[in-house]
Amino acid sequence: MHKEKQEIFDTYAKSEGFENWNDLIKLYNERVVITLSTTPDIELDEHIFRACNLVQQEQQEKIAENIKMHTPYEDKDCWIDKDSITNPENLIQ
């Protein structure tokens, strides 16, 4: 995984009380082994979606900033609105 993405995943995991992302995954993997469950862990899925959304938000912000810096138009009314790129509707549901 790309270093910046890994850092976002680790930061997310820490905000949820884990040491890092691998620690979070390890806990859920151990839970599956202990319970002999073969069904997906909904809570783990939610963590994965939340962490992926953070990565996506970061990427959207970088895209928005890059567009803002490289737009050929001096008229700011022609600039793409950052909020249209960093839109909550773009998140994983």
pLDDT tens-place string over residues 32-70: 656 555 555 668 888 888 999 899 888 888 877 776 655
pLDDT at 8: 93
- Percent of the residues in the chain that have a pLDDT greater than 70, as a whole number: 57
Residue with tokens 């928005």: 64
Give Cβ neighbours of residue 85 (< 8 Å, ≥ 6 apart): 60, 61, 63, 64, 67
Question: How much is the mean pLDDT over the chain?
Answer: 75
Q: Are 39 and 45 in contact (CB under 8 A)?
A: no
Q: Which structural domain range is residue 77 located in?
A: 3-90
Tell me the pLDDT band of 85, cut-offs 50, 70 and 90: low
pTM of the shown model = 0.62
Rounded distance, CA 44 to CA 58, Å? Answer: 21
Domain count along the chain: 1
End-to-end CA distance of the chain: 22
| 15 pLDDT more than 80 | yes
